[in-house]
A and B are shown apart, each in its own frame.
Chain A
């Protein structure tokens, strides 16, 4: 059975050049389906990877209860003071609580790629902010000075947006700023931010002493429970407390899910179109080889070998399409930088990530298209009437 199936399969595959145009169209259409799917997957994966690489489980982020995102939150200096006295908060060598009250406002930036405006987060931070970010380093220039109109710019912002080169002056809203440094946090979402002195931001944006979030270094990941208990029992505190890992996972979920909700239906709709193409190609394959199949069956080959041969041809064309699509997406998109609107209504810069899991998923989708496209033609091949041996061509 194996040798006859192999023989039929080889005959099928060797005859592909006789139907090269249809076969190529099938490969191309399946490649397109896989490319679209992988494009969306790469975007969602890249976005998720950027946010999931952000944050530590021993850093707590606190927002006003029910606010869900920093932009909606509002906290007071008094509340920050209460947190500084809370149990579970780590202290530095001088015994000061490692806590950073931060203010988060939105400014406009011009994207280098499209020359369009997009929202950028301008974060007012205190002295403790760098120590609360893993892998923080100033890669160029220096830290801003307290009370000045100086900016420290994330690497991704500098790469994707105009006007943030070192030493450059830039107008954000009604205020003039000078870029004095660039920072990195190892590719995390913080690199999509612009930092300035908290007091300066509060003054320029008339926020008094209010802040929007409090970050605090925990003495251990487990200490977050002590902090939660403390906050629940303190009537002046109405806070949502999460560690950063939980917070960013929640923030990533919405946007990456949205990308996937767009990606899968589009890929499936296109897959249906590709399915019609595969079906047509395989029908043509069986039709043009009707006499050959009948001859093989007259010699004694089984109908199932003809069916399997047809199915293998369909699956191979589909797999080839899948590989071409995956390779194209990998070569074109993998690692390229892009930005999209994050949950804080600001741009999050991330890199497309074509992962092996995504490629595997794309190839599986291609094989499903190949299987469904080849199934009925394979049945037809198995049932080719033996009397077709007498056809003249």
Chain B
């Protein structure tokens, strides 16, 4: 397996008033290409913070985030935005869809940052929606879709630009069990069939069970709890 991410001596501290809060200190981690990792842990353990650092939407207090030889933590804001658009797909707990856009328009958003023609963008949007099984809803706005359908649109948006890694923050936290299972099966499919590397933060042990590698983050340290 090839290492996609290498985290070295990673620390994250926040300052609240005069108080300094350490989220984690000197964390080391390797994520291989094709991994499906779930990260569990108590609230405040730094799961989402870690996801933010992997996705380049936050910066570490110290240490290095390396992704295929690129020091993500050292990139300027502009380069970081470009890097995110090319390498990372985000899937959020509350879907984060644009309420005024249709499903297809939401999925198309990452492609607007490319030089693809309108025709090619349309083709890719339909492919992404087809993969997640929601092509027939492409003209619907988020408010006209169920929670599960909205999350599928969110997944389609995350994969449409063909990033190597999908970062999922509680992707089933707002869904019922059956719908959650369907979404998790879709993620499994993307990992297995399209070789997407997936890092998923969850509170749900059942959801974590879908991952091939399960980590528990507690008191700033990882504990490997299982592997499929």
Contact = CB atoms under 8 A, between A and B. Distances in A.
Chain B CB count within 10 A is highest, among A4, A296, A300, A389, for A300
B84 A298 contact: yes
A7 interface: yes
Nearest to A296: B109
A386 B58 CA distance: 8
Interface in A1-29: 3-4, 7, 11, 14-15
Chain B CB count within 10 A is highest, among A15, A296, A299, A389, for A299
A390 interface: yes
Contacts of A14: 100-101
Contacts, number: 64
Contacts of B52: 386-387
Chain B CB count within 10 A is highest, among A390, A392, A393, for A390
A389 B57 contact: yes
Chain B CB count within 10 A is highest, among A297, A303, A389, for A389
B78 interface: yes
A301 B57 contact: no
B112 A295 contact: no
Nearest to B154: A295
A299 B57 contact: no
B101 A300 contact: no
A390 B48 contact: yes
B100 A299 contact: no
Given A7-B109, A386-B57, A297 B96 contact: no
Given A298-B84, A392-B94, A11 B112 contact: no
A7 B101 CA distance: 10
B206 interface: no
A200 interface: no
Contact of A4 (B93, B99, B101, B112): B112
Interface SS of chain A: helix
Interface SS of chain B: helix
Given A11-B98, A296-B109, A298-B57, A303 B90 contact: no
Contact of A292 (B78, B81, B98, B113): B98
A4 B78 CA distance: 14
Interface in B157-198: 157, 169
A289 to B, nearest CB: 9
A15 B143 CA distance: 14
Interface in A269-306: 291-292, 295-303
Contacts of B74: none
Contacts of A300: 81-82, 84-86, 110, 113
Interface in B90-139: 90, 92-94, 96, 98-101, 109-110, 112-113
Interface of A: 3-4, 7, 11, 14-15, 291-292, 295-303, 386-387, 389-390, 392-393
- The 6 residue pairs across chains A and B that have the minimum distance between CB atoms: A300-B85, A14-B100, A386-B57, A295-B96, A3-B112, A300-B84
